[in-house]
Amino acid sequence: MKSQHGNITANHPDRAAKAVLSAVLAAALFGLSAPVSKLLLADLSPTFMAALLYLGAGFGMLLVRMAGILRREPPAEAKMTKKEMPYIAAMVLLDIAAPILLMAGLTMTTASTASLLNNFEIVATATVAMIFFREPLDKRMWLAILLITVSSIVLSVEDFRNLSLSIGSTFILAACLCWGIENNCTRMLSLKDPLQIVIIKGFGSGTGALLISLGVNGVDGRLPYILLALLLGFVSYGLSIFFYVSAQRELGAARTSIYYAAAPFIGVLISWILLRDTITGSFLTALAIMLTGTYFAISEKHKHPHIHLEETHEHRHSHGDGHHTHHHEVEIAGEHSHEHTHEPLEHTHTHMPEIHHQHTHEH
């Protein structure tokens, strides 16, 4: 087994920075969703709205793919195979349920409250990642999860004397749980073509939601609202998911969701501007608690000696990052995709629980 020492990521600081930027950009784009959806729900049913959002993502990203083909861009991403089918199916089914629950919740609560409650997705994602996918969570991450959970409770409870949950908040928390599980399924596909993932998610989940909407006679609305919903889906779902999956490659599911916590705050800002939502004391308290929790999460550093076992897989990569040391008969510069084998390797460097660092921890 090879042994290599030193900080591997120090040689490629742009990778981590790019991943964080992708997560924040995904958050910013998704942050538009709640307040703008609140306006569109005045003319569209929750189930039809959910269908339009995902169909807009599918159609929009399909056009992006067609544009790349017309420009004859060489493929650099690995395609999904039958091995990924269980995760693809779970991803689509959960993406049908989540937006319908979210849209239903939006009809019964303010857009600003809904935006901040969306942060519960972080808790769900991190918990599922740790229990089922063995992502390590240290004390700082657990503290962050605790604070974000408390913040969600502050927003969900209408009357602390009677502890009565609002129905709208409950629907939104259920949507976050679905997305938390779905985020981990998507993470298992993150080495594959992100554009292909979004297209499958968009058309699969959008078609499912549309069938449900037809079943409950929810397909109705004026054409301008329908077109705006499709456009919102392309921006807030299509492009957002693309950048989110790209970030998961480097950061893993739980930590990507932490950076994604910026989305609700952006949504709140837009809600204050467009919808004039009331700012309450509990709202400001929840905001402060969430910001504190987010700080603890993003300030985490994870570094220790670890072992990479031999592994063969296919994904987009470049050489010189300390993990892809295989050789080509004709050397290839830049990022490319092909099936390759990682030799056994032991080294120490700062890392995240992305696909190459799935090792377990004794403590």
Q: What is the 3-state secondary structure (H, E, C) of 281-311?
A: HHHHHHHHHHHHHHHHHHCCCCEEEEEECCE
Tens digit of pLDDT at every position of the chain (363 positions): 555 544 444 445 577 778 888 988 998 898 888 788 888 998 999 889 989 999 999 999 999 999 988 887 766 677 888 888 999 999 999 988 888 898 888 888 877 677 677 778 878 888 888 888 877 777 887 888 788 778 877 766 665 555 456 788 889 889 999 989 998 998 888 888 889 999 999 999 999 999 999 998 989 899 999 999 999 999 999 999 999 988 888 888 877 887 777 666 676 667 777 777 666 777 788 888 888 887 887 776 656 565 666 666 665 556 655 555 666 666 666 565 556 676 776 666 555 566 665 555 554
Whole-angstrom Cα distance, residue 230 to residue 227?
5
CA atoms within 13 A on the CB side of 92: 19
What integer pLDDT is reported at residue 108 of this predicted model?
86
Per-residue model confidence (pLDDT) at position 362: 53
SS3 349: strand
How far from 237 is each of 63, 108, 241, 243, 324, CA to CA, in Å? Answer: 15, 22, 6, 10, 32
User: Quick check: 83 and 145 in contact, CB under 8 A?
Assistant: no
pLDDT at site 113: 74
pLDDT for 9 equals 43
Name, in order, each residue with C-beta under 8 angstroms of 76's C-beta and a sequence gap of 6 or more: 316, 335, 336, 337
Output the CA angle 185-189-193, nearest 5 degrees.
145
Residues 77, 195 contacting (CB under 8 angstroms): yes
Per-residue confidence (pLDDT) for residue 256, from 0 to 100: 84
* Nearest residue to 114 (alpha-carbon basis) of 318, 296, 298, 270: 270
The kind and range of the H/E element at 345 are: strand 345-350
Residue that has been written with the tokens 């990778």 in this structure: 15
Residue 73 has a CB neighbour count (10 Å cut-off) of 10
Chain-centroid distance of CA 53 in Å reads 16
pLDDT of 27 reads 86
Question: What was the pLDDT predicted at 304?
Answer: 57
Distance CA 265, CA 115 (A): 7
Contact 99, 223 (CB under 8 A): no
Q: What is the pLDDT of residue 107?
A: 84
Tell me which residue of 259, 267, 232, 276 sits closest to 116, measured CA to CA: 267
